């Protein structure tokens, strides 16, 4: 993995063909509309942690169907737990009216 923009953009190494460019993953990037503002604007559109976890969960379920093992099941459980907590955080922020804002 190579960090292109800390916290937002990464180049993932290919498993084979390491001499070829890797896969780039871009996370949504927002900055305050004005200095000190809680309102945010998108400067780079991209995906979310939740969406990446959904991809990984789907991949682990596919692998588990082909090559079932305890480790795959444990990994899937932990990925699902991580997704649950991220979704709870979002629900809590929406309930407080601070989702999408630079506020705690």
Could you read off the pLDDT of 6-51 as tens digits, one per residue?
Answer: 999 999 999 998 788 899 999 999 999 998 889 999 999 999 999 9
Based on the domain organization, do 68 and 93 belong to the same domain? yes
Q: How high is the pLDDT of residue 43?
A: 96
Domain identity same for 31 and 61:
no
CA–CA separation, 93 and 82 (whole Å): 17
Q: Is the pLDDT of residue 77 over 90?
A: yes
pTM of the model: 0.89
Q: Are residues 21 and 66 in the same domain?
A: no
Same domain, 40 and 60: no
The CA R_g of the chain, rounded to the nearest whole Å, is 17
**81 and 32 in one domain?**
no
My answer on whether 19 and 43 are in the same domain is: yes
For residue 36, give every residue at least 6 positions away whose Cβ sits within 8 Å of its Cβ, in sequence order, or none: none
Residue 42: C-alpha distances to residues 14, 30, 66, 90 (Å): 29, 4, 40, 17
| 41: containing domain | 1-47
Burial class (CB in 10 A: 0-12, 13-18, 19+), 43: exposed
pLDDT of 71 > 80? The answer is: yes
Residue that wins the pLDDT comparison between 36 and 95: 95
Query: Tokens 């996370």 sit at which residue?
Result: 27
Q: Let me know how long the chain is.
A: 104
Residues 22 and 53 in one domain: no
Instruction: Output the pLDDT for position 54.
Output: 98
pLDDT in tens, 40-58: 999 999 999 999 999 999 9
Res. 87: pLDDT tops 90: yes
- On whether both 63 and 37 belong to a single domain, the answer is no
Q: Count up the domains in the chain and report the number.
A: 2
């Amino acid at each position: 993995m190579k960090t292109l923009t800390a916290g937002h953009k990464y180049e993932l190494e290919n498993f084979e063909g390491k001499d070829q460019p890797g896969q780039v993953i871009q996370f949504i990037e927002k900055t305050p509309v004005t200095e000190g503002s809680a309102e945010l604007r998108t400067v780079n559109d991209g995906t979310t942690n939740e969406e990446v976890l959904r991809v990984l969960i789907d991949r682990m379920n596919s692998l588990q169907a082909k090559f079932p093992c305890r480790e795959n099941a444990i990994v899937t459980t932990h990925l699902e737990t991580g997704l649950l907590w991220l979704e709870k955080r979002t629900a809590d922020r929406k309930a407080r009216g601070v989702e999408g804002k630079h506020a705690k």
